[in-house]
């Protein structure tokens, strides 16, 4: 799934939408102390009150929110796994009887509880439904005929939500005209921030892909490897943040003792951004060791060779055949995505403006110098240009 596929299904999560039919909802309450199922309940989604529907719909949209490789991850199922979750989900999707559907979902819950202790009570919610998308209208078709011709994709969506203690509040009783302490013992299910979830099957170009699942992490770049490997039985993947760290280590390994200044780093980002733009209409481009070699050579890093780059891949990630997603290793190019942090100030700039920043030495001290096109204004006061100082030699940067 790409971001367009995810956006297409996410925007259909609205109450009373004829293009999204949710057949059943199944809630399972898990106790933190014992990691046991305390209660579970299944019912037709249409039987919920309107306010309940709205709460759950917003929760499901949260599961499908976030950037790919940061919060959402399309994962491939592992092969030859005993009690495979891929098979369980597929059987659940095809089940005609509610009891069969519940049984398959409870099998997944058992996997969630195995060798796992949660810090709070957990509510796991499953829905089974059908997402429909009208086919593109031909010039001679009416609006009505378009709605009659749709892509249809059955799906299962799971959302995991933690509970929290009710707030202690003071209330005023209008009838008795007195202040009362509000005593509530029932836990509150926090549907505003799901801690995990998934969508099965993956839906790409209006077609179901039962070999992949869309996993949703609770927080950006914080994937639960227990959930990915033990619950979903999916293959491991790297977050965008992890990809970026590995790429930076490989660059340092190849550069060796060379000092990489801001201009060179800006060139690296520019080369990768060019690759992304050239492949904008295709799948997300990936960079293997040969592509990284080209990027580093074009960026001005000296003494780059295929052997050095391949060796760096093996040293850092132990896989010389690994390929980075280009969008993961370059900061967002047209926004101030690069953070420069110092003890006295934090500065945000875009990758394309990085070349205008220098670290220099002056009278034995380090300074951060930025090239600007206009006079700087601070708190309404225009700064007076001061004497220009010399840039330090490259080996002092």
Question: Which DSSP string do the residues of 17-46 spell out, in sequence order?
Answer: -TTEEEEEEEEEEE-TTT--EEEEEEEEGG
Tokens describing residue 240: 């965008």
Give, to the nearest 10 degrees, the angle between helix 240-255 and helix 289-298: 60
Interatomic CA distance for residues 157 and 25, integer angstroms: 10
pLDDT at 180: 78
For the chain of 397 residues, list the mean pLDDT of each consecutive stretch of 10. Answer: 89 91 95 88 94 95 93 94 94 93 95 88 95 70 57 93 81 82 75 95 89 95 92 92 92 86 87 82 80 90 90 90 88 86 88 86 84 85 72 53
pLDDT at 397: 46
pLDDT at 46: 94
Under 8 Å CB-to-CB from 379, ≥6 apart: which residues?
none
pLDDT at 90: 96
Give, to the nearest 10 degrees, the angle between helix 98-113 and helix 85-94: 160
pLDDT at 381: 85
What are 188's strand-pairing partners?
Answer: 164
Cα three-residue angle 342-344-347, rounded to 5 degrees: 55
What's the start-to-end Cα distance of the chain, in Å?
43
Give the chain as a 3 state SS string: CCHHHHHHHHCCCCCCCCCEEEEEEEEEEECCCCCCEEEEEEEEHHHCCHHHHHHHHHHHHHHCCCCECCCEEEEEECCCCCCCHHHHHHHHHHCCCHHHHHHHHHHHHHHHHCCCCCCCCEEEEEEEEEEEEECCCCCCCCHHHHHHCEEEEEEEEEEEEEEECCCCEEEEECCCCEEEEECCCCCEECCCCCCEEEEECEEECCEEECCEEEEEECECCECCHHHHHHHCCECCCCCHHHHHHHHHHHHHHHHCCCCCCHHHHHHHHHHHHHHHHHCCCCCCCEECHHHHHHHHHHCCCCCCCHHHHHHHHHHHHCCCCCCEEHHHHCCCCCCCCEEEECCCCEEEECHHHHHHEEEEEECCEEEEEECCCCCCEECCEECCCCCCCCCCCHHHC
Q: Is 168 helix (H, G, I), strand (E, B) or coil?
A: coil
pLDDT at 41: 94
Residue with tokens 């001061």: 386
Indicate the Cα dihedral angle 341, 342, 348, 350, nearest 10°: -80
Interatomic CA distance for residues 9 and 257, integer angstroms: 49
Tokens describing residue 293: 């070699």
């Amino acid at each position: 799934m790409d971001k367009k596929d995810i956006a297409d299904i996410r925007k259909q999560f609205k109450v009373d939408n004829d293009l999204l039919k949710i057949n059943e909802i199944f809630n399972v309450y898990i106790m933190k102390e014992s990691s046991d199922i305390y209660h579970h309940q299944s019912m037709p989604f249409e039987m919920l009150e309107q306010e309940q529907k709205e709460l759950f719909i917003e929760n499901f949209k949260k599961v499908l929110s976030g950037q790919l490789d940061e919060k959402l991850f399309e994962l491939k199922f592992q092969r030859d796994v005993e009690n495979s979750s891929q098979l369980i989900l597929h059987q659940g999707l095809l089940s005609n009887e509610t009891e069969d559907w519940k049984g398959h979902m409870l099998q997944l819950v058992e996997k969630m509880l195995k060798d796992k202790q949660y810090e709070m009570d957990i509510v796991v919610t499953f829905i089974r439904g059908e997402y429909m998308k009208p086919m593109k209208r031909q010039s001679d078709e009416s609006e009505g005929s378009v709605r009659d011709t749709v892509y249809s994709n059955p799906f299962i969506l799971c959302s995991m939500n933690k509970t929290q203690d009710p707030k202690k509040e003071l209330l005023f009783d209008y009838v008795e005209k007195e202040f009362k302490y509000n005593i509530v013992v029932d836990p509150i299910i926090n549907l505003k921030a799901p801690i995990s979830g998934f969508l099965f099957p993956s839906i790409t170009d209006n077609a179901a892909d039962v070999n992949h699942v869309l996993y949703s992490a609770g927080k950006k770049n914080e994937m639960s490897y227990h959930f990915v490997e033990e619950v979903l039985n999916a293959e491991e993947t790297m977050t965008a943040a992890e990809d970026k760290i590995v790429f930076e280590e490989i660059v340092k390994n190849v550069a060796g003792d060379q000092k990489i200044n801001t201009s060179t780093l800006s060139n690296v980002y520019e080369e990768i951004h060019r690759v992304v733009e050239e492949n904008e209409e295709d799948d997300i481009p990936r960079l293997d060791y040969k592509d990284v070699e080209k990027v580093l050579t074009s960026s001005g890093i000296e003494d780059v060779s295929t052997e050095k780059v391949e060796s760096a891949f093996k040293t850092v990630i132990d896989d010389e055949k690994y390929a980075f997603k280009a969008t993961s290793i370059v900061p967002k190019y047209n926004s101030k995505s690069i953070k420069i942090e110092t003890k006295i100030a934090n500065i945000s700039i875009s990758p394309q403006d990085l070349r205008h920043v220098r670290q220099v030495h002056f009278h034995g001290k380090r300074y951060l110098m930025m090239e600007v096109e206009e006079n700087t204004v601070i708190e309404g006061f225009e700064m007076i240009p001061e004497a220009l100082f010399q840039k330090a030699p490259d080996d002092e940067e």
